[in-house]
Amino acid sequence: MTVKANISEIKSALPANVALVAVSKFHPAEAIMEAYNAGQRVFGESRVQELVAKYEQLPKDIEWHMIGHLQTNKVRAIAPFVSLIHSVDSRRLLECINREAERCGRVIDCLLEVHVAREQTKSGWDSEELLAFVCSGELAAMKNIRIRGIMGMATNTDDIAIIRSDFERLAAIKAQITPMFDSSFNVLSMGMSDDYPIAIQCGSTMVRIGSSIFGQRNY
Ligand SMILES: *Cc1c(COP(=O)(O)O)cnc(C)c1O
């Protein structure tokens, strides 16, 4: 299957309210251009250096999403152009993004990454921590950040019941904190190649799909 065929197959299966982020990490610019020529404009990357290099090389109407763990010392490199940061996992990172966004005269859209998976290795706020932070009112002072929703990953398992319960938890956490934001808080980023149909059943509005579009990655 070609990238173009993969994209049209996935798109035809997505409800109209679910956005597709094509996760292009570890794939070359040529592969991204194949997707671009098939009409895809939203791409996700997980490493800053790769994201910046691709941004510089590729058409300027691409929306670049940062989906991988982000270190504060790397924020400056992406602040001028990034469209959405999915992986915001601490107050310190938020403060840094706010500062860098102000420096370039932007308001940067962010998602709060929530940790629900059983692996300890995955990052993100735990739900109590997140709730306490959102209730603290500290976000109101961060004028150059707009929180658009939450992002999360399910446990890496074949057990569909566990995956479903992880996604249901993410949806519940989003519903719980929605009243503390304005109407632009409307993104629930969850679902990858192996689990996106379940994520959509659980209310995902944004799926992040890599290998089902571009094939296996060579790390
Ligand atoms: C790599 C990655 C994806 C895409 O994974 P696939 O299984 O290739 O679809 C989605 N989300 C995040 C955070 C990733 O790092």
Between CA 107 and CA 185, with CA 154 as vertex, the angle to 5 degrees is: 30
pLDDT tens for 38-67 read: 999 999 999 999 999 999 999 999 999 999
Dihedral of CA atoms 48, 53, 55, 57 in degrees, nearest 10, equals -170
Cβ–Cβ < 8 Å for 82, 67? no
218 found inside a domain: no
Q: What is the pLDDT of residue 138?
A: 95
Cα 154 to Cα 98: distance, rounded to the nearest angstrom: 28
Does the CB atom of residue 157 touch ligand 1 within 6 A? Answer: no
For ligand 1, atom 7, name the residue with the nearest CA.
193
For ligand 1, atom 13, name the residue with the nearest CA.
67
Does the CB atom of residue 8 touch ligand 1 within 6 A? Answer: no
pLDDT tens for 99-145 read: 999 999 999 999 999 999 998 877 899 999 999 999 999 999 999 99
Label residue 90 by pLDDT band (50, 70, 90): very high
pLDDT tens for 188-212 read: 999 999 999 999 999 999 999 999 9
Q: What is the pLDDT of residue 219?
A: 74
219 found inside a domain: no
- The percentage of residues in the chain with a pLDDT greater than 70, rounded to a whole number, is 100
Label residue 163 by pLDDT band (50, 70, 90): very high
Atom of ligand 1 nearest to the CA of 21: 10
Does the CB atom of residue 192 touch ligand 1 within 6 A? Answer: yes
Does the CB atom of residue 69 touch ligand 1 within 6 A? Answer: no
Range of the domain at 7: 3-213
- CA-to-CA separations, 102 to 142, 144, 178, in angstroms, rounded: 9, 6, 25
Q: What is the pLDDT of residue 120?
A: 80
Q: What CATH number is associated with residue 202?
A: 3.20.20.10
What is the best residue among 65, 198, 208, 211 to mutate for testing ligand 1's pocket, by most ligand atoms within 8 Å of CB?
Answer: 208
115 found inside a domain: yes
* Cα 94 to ligand 1 centroid, rounded to whole Å: 22
Average pLDDT of the chain?
97
Cβ–Cβ < 8 Å for 144, 106? yes
Q: Is residue 24 pLDDT above 80, yes or no?
A: yes
Task: Read off the pLDDT of each residue in 92-98 and give the average, rounded to a whole number.
Answer: 98
CB atoms within 10 A of CB 15: 8
- CA-to-CA separations, 184 to 23, 75, 98, 111, 181, in angstroms, rounded: 23, 23, 18, 11, 8
Name the domain count of the chain: 1
37 found inside a domain: yes
